[in-house]
């Protein structure tokens, strides 16, 4: 009981400190478990626990570091520019085409795992169309946010990286069973775009665009070394090969580990797009801040999870959780976690939920034969709803760019987000991502 209380106290202290912004998550992940470990009577034996945690998470941290650099450089190299231009041209003055274009653009640009980049590019391309036709901008922010919520489940997305780090899981094996749920979620978003587009067709009637500016004037052009590269054919082949290397193991075809694939992709992407040494340095430097901060966070999580596991706190905490659960719910822990992930990630940050709560819930599920990977997948189901939280900075960027009130956005999108999470949970259950 003492270990359980210390463990829950560690999670509570970590959560309160980062939610009140007293210290950063990076600092909290290192200092809080170290202090609690000392309180539990441990000394120099904490060192091996922390080293063990670091070793377990090193591949995940390296993969995320190189993935963020790679997709950031691909975006700067103009990989998505022809797509943006084509969607804007095809949308013309038809509200239905515009909403479908919004969903398509949001989905494809979200491939880089960075919501802020998605919102900046998509809003710069689509917002002028919404404004000139007088369309409801709530449709724009709703579709873009939900697309980002689904695509954040990619291996280089923040939530999946945190879940893998918290439970020391292989990234590829964690992600691949999530694909059917993601496809189902994106299918629902396309349906939503059709509903929104038809509603605007009825409301606006026949509308024509008086502004006939070329697409290149709508889309903000890049400057610097990125403006000199237009090797999109090679970049598309490179990204396609990377995706194939990620997915082929699901069909029994052995490829290189995802960490190595990301490192190779970055090296080839830099050589192809920026052959000049100075340009390569400039492009790496422009994305280094985000990449290093994420990798450092994952390494710090190794300290947290290493001490949580090594001291025996996680086992004691899981026993306490099981003791409080109604007997009928305990065997269905994965579904409980999937449902809990909606309010859990809304009221808590991703760091607090995945590093603080998920290890305890996963250990409790293990007592009923539930694999840690299944529990991690269940915990990711609430991500579309999570983005509605006022704790998510990129959501404030989105509503600011679109000129939409945050409260109106939350009221309008909440029901759609819950529906999307429900569809993804049902698809995940149907395809065995986690058991009922």
Q: Domain residue spans in the chain?
A: 2-430
Q: What is the pLDDT at residue 218? A: 42
Best CA proximity match to 139, nearest among 113, 105, 103, 104: 103
Under the banding of pLDDT at 50, 70 and 90, the label for residue 208 is: low
Inform me whether the pLDDT recorded for 22 exceeds 50.
Answer: yes
Q: For Cα atoms 222, 223, 224, give the angle at the middle one, nearest 5 degrees.
A: 130
In the numeric block, which tokens belong to residue 266? Answer: 């970055």
For the cut 50, the answer to whether the pLDDT of residue 220 exceeds it is no
Nearest to 7 by CA among 311, 300, 354, 323: 311
The pLDDT of residue 345? 85
Please give the pLDDT value at position 255.
82
Q: Which of 122-126, 220-224, 258-262, 353-357 has the lowest mean pLDDT?
A: 220-224
| Confidence (pLDDT) at 96 | 92
| pLDDT for 1 beyond 90 | no
> And the tokens for 408?
């109106």
pLDDT of residue 225: 54
Residue 329 DSSP code: T
pLDDT over 60 at 212, yes or no: no
The CB density around residue 39, as the number of other CB atoms within 10 Å, is 11
**Is residue 381 over pLDDT 60?**
yes
pLDDT at 241 over 60: yes
Of 29-38, 178-187, 220-229, 360-369, minimum mean pLDDT range: 220-229
pLDDT above 70 coverage of the chain, percent: 93
pLDDT at residue 223 tops 60: no
Q: Please determine, for residue 116, whether its predicted confidence score (pLDDT) is greater than 70.
A: yes
């Amino acid at each position: 009981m003492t270990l359980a209380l210390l463990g829950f106290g560690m999670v509570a202290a970590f959560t309160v400190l980062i939610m009140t912004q007293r210290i950063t998550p990076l600092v909290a992940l290192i200092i809080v478990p170290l202090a609690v470990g000392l309180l539990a009577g441990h000394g120099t034996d904490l060192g091996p626990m922390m080293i063990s945690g670091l070793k377990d998470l090193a591949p995940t941290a390296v993969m995320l570091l190189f993935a963020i650099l790679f997709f950031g450089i691909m975006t700067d190299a103009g990989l998505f520019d022809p797509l943006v231009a084509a969607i804007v041209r095809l949308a013309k003055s038809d509200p239905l085409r515009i909403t479908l274009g919004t969903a398509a653009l949001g989905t494809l640009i979200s491939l880089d795992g960075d919501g802020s980049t998605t919102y900046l590019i998509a809003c710069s391309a689509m917002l002028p169309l919404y404004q000139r036709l007088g369309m409801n901008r709530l449709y724009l922010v709703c579709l873009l946010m939900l697309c980002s919520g689904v695509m954040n489940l990619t291996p280089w997305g923040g939530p999946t990286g945190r879940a893998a780090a918290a439970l020391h899981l292989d990234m590829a094996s964690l992600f691949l069973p999530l694909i059917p749920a993601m496809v189902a979620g994106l299918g629902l978003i396309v349906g939503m775009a059709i509903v929104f587009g038809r509603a605007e067709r009825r409301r606006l009637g026949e509308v024509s665009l008086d502004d006939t500016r070329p697409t290149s004037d709508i889309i903000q052009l890049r400057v610097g070394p990125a403006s000199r590269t237009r090797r999109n054919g090679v970049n598309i082949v490179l990204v396609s090969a990377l995706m194939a290397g990620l997915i082929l193991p699901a069909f029994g075809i052995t490829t290189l580990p995802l960490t190595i694939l990301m490192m190779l992709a970055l090296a080839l992407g830099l050589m192809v797009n920026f052959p000049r040494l100075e340009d390569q340095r400039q492009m790496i430097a422009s994305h280094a801040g985000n990449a290093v901060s994420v990798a450092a966070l994952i390494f710090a999580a190794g300290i947290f999870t290493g001490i949580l596991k090594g001291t025996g706190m996680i086992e004691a905490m899981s026993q306490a959780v099981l003791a409080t659960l109604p007997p009928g719910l305990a065997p269905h822990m994965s579904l409980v976690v999937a449902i809990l992930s909606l309010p859990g990630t809304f009221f808590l940050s991703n760091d607090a939920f995945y590093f603080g709560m998920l290890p305890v819930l996963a250990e409790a599920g293990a007592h009923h034969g539930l694999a840690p990977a299944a529990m991690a997948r269940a915990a990711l189901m609430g991500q579309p709803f999570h983005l509605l939280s006022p704790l998510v900075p990129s959501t404030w960027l989105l509503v600011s760019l679109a000129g939409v009130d945050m409260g109106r956005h939350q009221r309008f999108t909440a029901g759609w987000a819950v529906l999307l999470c429900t569809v993804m949970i049902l698809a995940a259950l149907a395809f065995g991502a986690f058991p009922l």
